Amino acid sequence: MNHKLSRLAPLLVLLIACNGAPTAETDATDDVSTDAPAGLSVSAPIHHLDVLAREPMVVEHPSGALFVAGFGSQVTGVDPRAIPHLFKSDDAGATWSRVEVGTPEEGAIGNSDVDLAIGPDGTLYFVSMGFDRTTSEGTHVAIGVSHDVGASWSWTLLSDTRLDDRPWVVVAPDGTAHVIWNDGSGVCHAVSTDGGETWMERDRIHPKGGSSHLAMGPNGELAVRISPISGSANQFDAGLDLIAVSTDDGVTWSQHPIPGEIEWDPTLSDPNAVPRWVEPLAWDASGALHHLWSEGQTVQLGRSGDQGETWSTWLVAEDATVAYFPFLTARGPGELAATWFSGNGEAMAVEVALIQVPDSGGSELQVLRTTFQPDTWLETLDERTRDPGGEYVPVAFLSAGGLGVVTPVQDLHNDRFGFSWWRLGASSDLD
């Protein structure tokens, strides 16, 4: 969420003054700065240069196609009605092309947070939001649906509330699609049971707080991480820190404490302190719920085998630099992939971990890690330094083996904008 990061440093004001968009191209480079603490290999990134894709999301379609969504443009990044960006690869990420998702008149609008999900029938869901950077307020949440692998789209405006913020979308095994967001008055929830043709807004999941993440379990279980901060509303609800779980398709919700003890900074007054916005959840194939969070120089993991009632916890990483903005996904039983940022300024890097969680909640985690520096920069009149380019780094398990990771390319000095595609895994995964 670009608007929240603006509290830490001047953001992309200068990008708006850039002279036009570069021609789209895809290239690879062997100029990779990596350091593997234990075990993961990382391929040379493939850079797709087109329009800026901040806070990207990535999914793999059953057809084998890869989709990357993002927002922001060196020209139109301030316009809430700008078209959100979507890219497709039909050759495992070797080349990419921009997907035409529609026009603003057709409802394809949004210059901020995005998310992607795929239904069991291959329906592709693309949710986006608008953010007015002149008033630092949200403008809307919209969702696009494609039944033909991105060839055509239909759009629905889910909300146009002044403080709309951070939407997420998931799809249940029965095809029911769920979207959540917060609007300054709690966590909103909309569902579609007909492949995105129509949407019905449900009762709020919670009347306060912001939604950090939404996760779908293997049997249709839902979990929402509800944090005390509502970003667009600049609101802090002291004492609110929970995970809400539903086992009846989101009709009713139970509330559970989070694993561990986490301190929040409601003022965000310390420019050297990195706030937590996204605290991700993931259900694995066994039905266990996992929660990842960062605190200071540590990254920690919780596992619940009883839908959030009780938790086992582990230390995933403890390094010499600050860890922040974690992201999490799951596949098989106890099989997790995590990302987070470490360090600030020139030392800022992306950390990636492949995690195997013991079945019983006991014993040690198996963790393979690597790190690299993305081609993402913050530039002002006086300074050029590395920038996260968003509040998470998406990671996906790939059907061909290994992991796929996406980071923005944001380099005003060299007129380079787009995203980078990274493959990670064992050497056999990268062949």
pLDDT tens per residue, range 240-249: 999 999 999 9
Break the chain into its structural domains and give their ranges: 1-25+44-160+398-431, 173-257
Residue with tokens 């913020």: 165
Phi, psi of 7 (to 5 degrees): -75, -20
pLDDT higher than 70, residue 23: no
HSE-up of residue 381 (Cα within 13 Å, Cβ side)? 1
pLDDT at residue 74, as a whole number: 53
- From 11-20, 159-168, 277-286, 404-413, the region with the lowest mean pLDDT: 11-20
What is the pLDDT at residue 134? 82
Taking the CA atoms of residue 397, residue 40, residue 291 and residue 187 in that order, the dihedral angle to the nearest 10 degrees is -50
State the DSSP string of 219-251.
TS-EEEEEESEETTTTEE-TT--EEEEESSTTS
Residues 363 and 27: beta-carbon distance below 8 Å = no
Question: 3-class SS at 284?
Answer: coil
Residue of 256, 272, 271 whose CA lies nearest to 308:
256
Q: Is 44 exposed, middle or buried (0-12, 13-18, 19+ CB in 10 A)?
A: middle
- Return the CA Rg of the chain: 20
What pLDDT score was predicted for residue 21? 34
What is the pLDDT at residue 105?
96
Q: Residues near 383 by Cβ (< 8 Å), separated by ≥ 6? A: none
- Determine the residue type at 404: G
Q: Give the distance, in angstroms, between the CA of residue 294 and the centroid of all CA atoms in the same chain.
A: 15
- Per-residue pLDDT tens for 176-224? 999 999 998 999 999 999 999 999 999 999 999 888 899 999 999 999 9
